[in-house]
Amino acid sequence: LSIWERNYNEDVGLKKIIIFGAGEGSREILDIIIKDLNKETPAWEVLGFVDTNKEKRVDSFCGYPMFCQDDFSNTSDTYGVCGIMDNTIRKKVCEEEILGNGLRLASLIHPSAIMPEDFSCGKGTIVYPGVKISYNVRLGQGVIVNYNSVLGHDSIVNDYSFVGPSVTMTGGCLLGSSCLIGAGAVFVPGIEVGDCSIVGAGTFVFSNVKALTSVVSLPQKVTRAIG
C-alpha cells in the first residue's frame, strides 16, 4: 500500500466520497487528486457534489449529481471532503456539513507528494501535486497545501490553514490556525505566524507575524509604460 493509504484512511477497498463545494478547488480535487490516486490504486468512488449556495444550484457538476443536505442518510460509511479555499467557509463545511451530518472527513494526499514515514496530519487535509515535506512535520485538520510547496523539518501547520502554491517554509516554522499563505511566500527558519493571519504572495518572512495580521512585501508598482 502507498503511504497515503497506510496513514490517512483506515479501510482498504473502494470508499464512497462526496465533494463539498462546486467551484475550482473542488474540481481540482476531482480531476487532479482523486483521479490520480485512483490511477495508482483504485480507492475512491465519487458519489457527487454538494453546494448549499442556492444561486449555484444545478442538477450536476463535472458529470456528477448535485446533492443537498436533505439527501444524506446512512452516511456512516461515506466520506466527505471540502476543497473550498476560504478558510472560514472550509472550517464551517468540514465541521457542520460533513462531520455534522455523520460523514467521515477524508484526507487526500496526491501520489506525487514526497514525505517521510513520520509525517502526520489531521482529517480533511489535502496535499496537492509536487509538494515536498521533510521529517517531523505535522498538519492539522482541514489544512490545504497547494502545488509544489516545500515544508521544512519540524514545521507545524495548524487547523484550516491554507498554504498556497510554491511556498517555501524552512525548518521549524509554525503556522497558527486559519492562516492564509500566498503563492511563492518564503519563510526563514523558525518563523511563527499567529492565528488567522495572512502572508501575501511572494512575501519574504524574516520575523514572526502576530495573530490577525496581514503582511506583504513591497507592493507591485509600475516603473514605466511600454508603447
Give 10-residue mean pLDDT values along the chain (227 residues): 40 81 92 94 92 69 82 76 95 94 94 95 97 98 98 98 98 98 97 96 94 86 67
DSSP class of residue 94 equals I
User: How far is 213 from 85, CA to CA, in rounded Å?
Assistant: 19
pLDDT at 62: 87
Q: Let me know: does 103 contact 18? Beta carbons within 8 Å.
A: yes
- Shortest CA distance to 174 belongs to which of 159, 160, 190? 190
Q: Which of 167, 138, 23 is nearest to 90 (CA)?
A: 23
- Strands 60-61, 64-67: pairing is antiparallel
pLDDT of residue 4: 39
Nearest to 135 by CA among 118, 156, 158: 118
C-alpha cell of 151?
A: 515544508
User: Which pLDDT value is given to residue 10?
Assistant: 47
CB-based contact 45:76 (threshold 8 Å): no
Strand partners, 162: 144, 180
Specify the pLDDT at position 221: 67
- CA–CA separation, 82 and 93 (whole Å): 7
Specify the pLDDT at position 70.
62
Q: Which helix (H) or strand (E) holds 30?
A: none
What do you get for the CA distance between the two ends of the chain, in Å? 58
CA atoms of 62 and 27, how far apart (whole Å): 7
What integer pLDDT is reported at residue 52 of this predicted model?
Answer: 72
Rounded-to-integer distance, Cα 162 and Cα 178, Å: 7
**How many whole angstroms separate alpha carbon 213 and alpha carbon 198?**
6
CB 203 within 8 Å of CB 182: yes
pLDDT at 105: 95
The pTM assigned to this predicted structure is 0.89
User: In angstroms, rounded to a whole number, what is the distance separating the alpha carbons of residues 2 and 110?
Assistant: 11
Q: Which pLDDT belongs to residue 75?
A: 67
